[in-house]
Amino acid sequence: MNSIDLYPSGVLAPDVAPATPQQHSAWRALAQVIDPEIRQPITTLGMVSAVEFDGDDGVTVTIRLTIAGCPMQDTIHTDVQNALAPVAEGQIAVHLTSMTAEQRVALQDNLTASRPKNPFGKESLTKIYAVASGKGGVGKSTITANLAVGLADRGLSVGLIDADIHGFSIPGLLGITAKPTKVEDMIMPPIAYGVKVMSIGMFLDADQPVAWRGPMLHRALEQFVTDVYWGDVDVLLIDLPPGTGDIAISTAQLLPNAELLVITTPEHTAAQVAARAGQLSTQTSQPVSGVIENMGPMQMPDGTVIEVFGSGGGQAVSERLTDVLDQDVPLLGSIPLDPVLRTDSEHGTPSVVTSPTSAAGSVLREIVATLASARRGLAGRKLPVSPK
Ligand SMILES: Nc1ncnc2c1ncn2[C@@H]1O[C@H](COP(=O)(O)OP(=O)(O)OP(=O)(O)O)[C@@H](O)[C@H]1O
């Protein structure tokens, strides 16, 4: 690796460029440190300003954080120290400074230069699932959060947009209290359990109601799509508001490759409402990838099964949508009513990773495995190759 690969030029160039073999080896070690928000080496982002050795083989590193008081500064500090431990025999001192406004603009330009304004437009290869339900309280947000974390746990790069703007609950479900970091016009999504998350709840005080109409909701969703630095994302999940409102239409416009996942409880009345939500896909031309039944039959310690919300609703929605949409809409699983899922959710610890063997956690993991094996969204799309 030569120096040019190690650091950028212009205003993001280091104040002290590496000159000696010892400095070069320290820079190569620092190239292994990945910025937790941007997910690129801190060296190529222009975050390393100087690496200077003293006579006792101690080293002083100056790091430019993207903003003063960056919420990730402790992580970066520790990662830098760990990376340098093998190359510095003496003391390691890490000085944290912050980028100038000019440097932040240059960083934003570098990051966005080759990216389309909407990274999830028609050409995007990201697999996008919009999670819908006919009515509220069926566990749509709980399932969306768990699916996202489960997919990230399998090594996929996952984004999650909480578009349930009036009833946002994703930050709480994932224990997120951090606000997004802003680098000039770019918003860095907080990361929890490996998932990049964006929610209107992160910009509001707790308990503050959102009284927005359609155009403002559309604008908020648009900003989440275009102004947030998502980087490369394999799977994006959208937690839609319950019902068939404006946001579902906005989602279809902004995320044209999105496929729907429909959540229902086992009750037949709920299933009819959920099927209507699924049929919305005919207006928005979004395929329905599957149905997930939640709050299904629950097995008691003595082996008896209790059907608090009845049974069969998920199967009924799957059959109804398969029939009406004339496409296979499978039932992806039935998640039982499970107190573990409820308490995990309340504590901001998703069962899919914290209670993987619980009744709900194990079904969630099976659904995650099915979704993870689904191919990226190329079906029915024109590829830029011409037949010979
Ligand atoms: N399988 C389950 N077992 C036990 N509790 C569950 C289960 N699924 C969800 N819950 C609980 O049900 C409540 C409602 O869940 P959640 O907020 O995810 O629903 P929702 O459909 O997203 O609601 P809304 O769209 O109205 O915000 C929460 O307290 C959640 O912990």
List domains and CATH numbers for the chain: 3-112 (3.30.300.130), 127-373 (3.40.50.300)
- Ligand 1: residue of 342, 344, 355 to mutate (most ligand atoms within 8 A of CB) is 342
- pLDDT score, position 326: 84
For residue 167, the surrounding DSSP H or E stretch is none
- pLDDT score, position 4: 52
**Ligand-binding site membership of 134 (annotated):** yes
Alpha-carbon distance of 180 to 199, in angstroms, equals 9
Atom of ligand 1 nearest to the CA of 133: 21
Q: Which residue, among 213, 119, 118, 198, has the nearest Cα to 162 in the 3D structure?
A: 198
- pLDDT score, position 211: 60
**Ligand-binding site membership of 58 (annotated):** no
- pLDDT score, position 123: 85
- pLDDT score, position 379: 40
Q: Which residue type does 206 have? A: A
Q: Which residue, among 90, 347, 22, has the nearest Cα to 193 in the 3D structure?
A: 347
How far does residue 141's CA lie from ligand 1's centre (Å)? 7
- pLDDT score, position 301: 85
Q: pLDDT for 245-278, tens place per residue?
A: 677 778 888 899 999 999 999 998 877 777 777 7
- pLDDT score, position 3: 47
ipTM above 0.90, yes or no: yes
Residues of the chain with pLDDT under 50: 1-3, 377-388
Ligand 1, atom 29, lies closest to the CA of 342
Q: pLDDT for 11-56, tens place per residue?
A: 999 999 999 999 999 999 999 999 988 888 999 999 999 999 987 7
What residues does ligand 1 touch, defined as CB less than 6 Å away?
133, 136-142, 164, 167, 169, 242, 294-295, 335, 337-338, 341-342, 345, 360
**Ligand-binding site membership of 80 (annotated):** no
How far does residue 171's CA lie from ligand 1's centre (Å)? 14
- pLDDT score, position 60: 94
Pairing assessment for the beta strands 331-336 and 288-296 based on DSSP bridges: parallel
Atom of ligand 1 nearest to the CA of 241: 25
Q: Which residue type does 318 have? A: S
